[in-house]
């Protein structure tokens, strides 16, 4: 277990400090067989689509990274935060936030909460000059959406969040990816952060929540599984389904299943070598479709690491395609036929 702890600490450290690495310029965005690409965003670790819209939010997970708006119709992308014209308008709901901080912006997991009249809420896990969840307002327009920072929630001391999801009662939950044991923490206004009972696991990574708010679905990076955890019930219930790969982000599919994206290699150290040295023999990006009712799984994507795309971390459905974001300085999102 001590070895596993050191490995995960190394992986997390690499994710936080890796410089951008690009084998191909964005103009060289040719397909790899049946796999198409959208080039532009650097290290698009997480993706979230604005419903009924061509726009997708991508988090560029690197030092001094950016949030991007990506257009699925035009296959274009633009960095929108931070920037010289960034909008900031603090919301009193986040009164404990010390204010906007654009320096050292290192975005990680994202979660988009649909709102009314084309105005939505975006939660962003942030590293760099502070550990926090940054909150933005996304306003749809006739062209590129507008992004306004409205507040933040600071992470507890010693906690480094990975993924975040909004709860139906206007709170949020986030994963602390750690070995030998990490956990999920939940935040409510006026209460602060509290560890979720029964959420301890080895390297919890991605997180989603059921529409009724009664269940968390957690991507187990260390356990290679999807963990189903009860929320707010009289008894803690935990169940899981094993997957053939480390699980990074998880996202709802239009059919009610979960898309669990991640990666795997011959050994855990293979992931470290791929991230740090681009030595990726035997390493591949994987996406698995999970039935959350029956806890069954079916792998739908197995894409070997290559100079164009090293390690996948998230999968979402976009029209008749599955889009996969990745890390390690990759300058593209991989686009697979719907499966």
**The CATH number of the domain where 43 resides is what?**
2.120.10.30
- Per the structure, the count of domains in the chain is 1
Name the residue range of residue 242's domain. Answer: 2-337
Indicate the burial class of 321 (C-beta count within 10 angstroms; 0-12, 13-18, 19 or more): middle
Q: Tell me the pLDDT of the chain (339 aa) as tens digits.
A: 444 454 455 455 444 444 433 333 445 799 999 999 999 999 999 999 999 999 999 999 998 999 999 999 999 999 999 998 899 999 999 999 999 999 999 999 999 999 999 999 999 999 999 999 999 999 999 999 999 999 999 999 999 999 999 999 999 999 999 989 999 999 999 999 999 999 999 999 999 999 999 999 999 999 999 999 999 999 999 999 999 999 999 999 999 999 999 999 999 899 989 988 889 999 999 999 999 999 999 999 999 999 999 999 999 999 999 999 999 888 999 999 987
Residue 276, number of CB atoms within 10 A of its CB: 16
Q: What's the pTM value of the predicted model, to 2 decimals?
A: 0.92
């Amino acid at each position: 277990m001590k070895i596993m702890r050191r490995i995960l600490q190394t992986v997390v450290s690499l994710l936080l400090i890796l410089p951008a690495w690009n084998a191909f310029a964005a103009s060289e965005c040719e397909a790899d067989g049946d796999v198409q690409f959208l080039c532009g965003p650097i290290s698009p670790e997480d993706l979230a689509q604005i419903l009924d819209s061509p726009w997708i939010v991508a988090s560029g997970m690197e030092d001094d990274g950016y949030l991007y708006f990506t257009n699925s119709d035009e296959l274009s992308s633009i960095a929108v935060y931070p920037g010289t014209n960034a909008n900031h308008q603090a919301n009193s709901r986040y009164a404990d936030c010390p204010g906007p901080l654009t320096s050292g912006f290192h975005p990680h997991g994202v979660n988009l909460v649909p709102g009314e009249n084309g105005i939505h809420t975006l939660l962003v896990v942030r590293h760099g000059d502070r550990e926090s969840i940054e909150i933005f307002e996304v306003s749809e327009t006739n062209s590129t959406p507008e992004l306004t920072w409205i507040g933040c929630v600071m992470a507890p001391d010693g906690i480094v969040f990975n993924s975040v999801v909004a709860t139906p009662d206007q709170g949020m939950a986030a994963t602390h990816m750690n070995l030998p044991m990490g956990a999920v923490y939940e935040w409510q206004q006026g209460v602060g952060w509290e560890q979720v009972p029964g959420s301890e696991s080895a390297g919890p990574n991605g997180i989603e929540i059921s529409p009724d708010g009664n269940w968390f679905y957690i991507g187990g990076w260390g356990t290679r599984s999807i963990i189903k955890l009860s929320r707010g019930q009289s008894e803690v219930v935990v169940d899981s389904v094993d997957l053939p790969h480390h699980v990074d982000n998880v996202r709802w599919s239009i059919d009610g299943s979960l898309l669990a994206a991640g990666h795997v290699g011959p050994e855990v150290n293979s992931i470290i070598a791929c991230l740090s040295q681009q030595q990726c023999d035997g390493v591949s990006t994987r996406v698995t479709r999970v039935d959350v009712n029956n806890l069954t799984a079916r792998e739908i994507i197995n894409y070997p690491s290559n100079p164009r795309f090293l390690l996948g971390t998230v999968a979402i459905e976009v029209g008749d395609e599955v889009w996969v974001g990745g890390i390690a300085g990759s300058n593209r999102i991989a686009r697979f036929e719907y499966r």
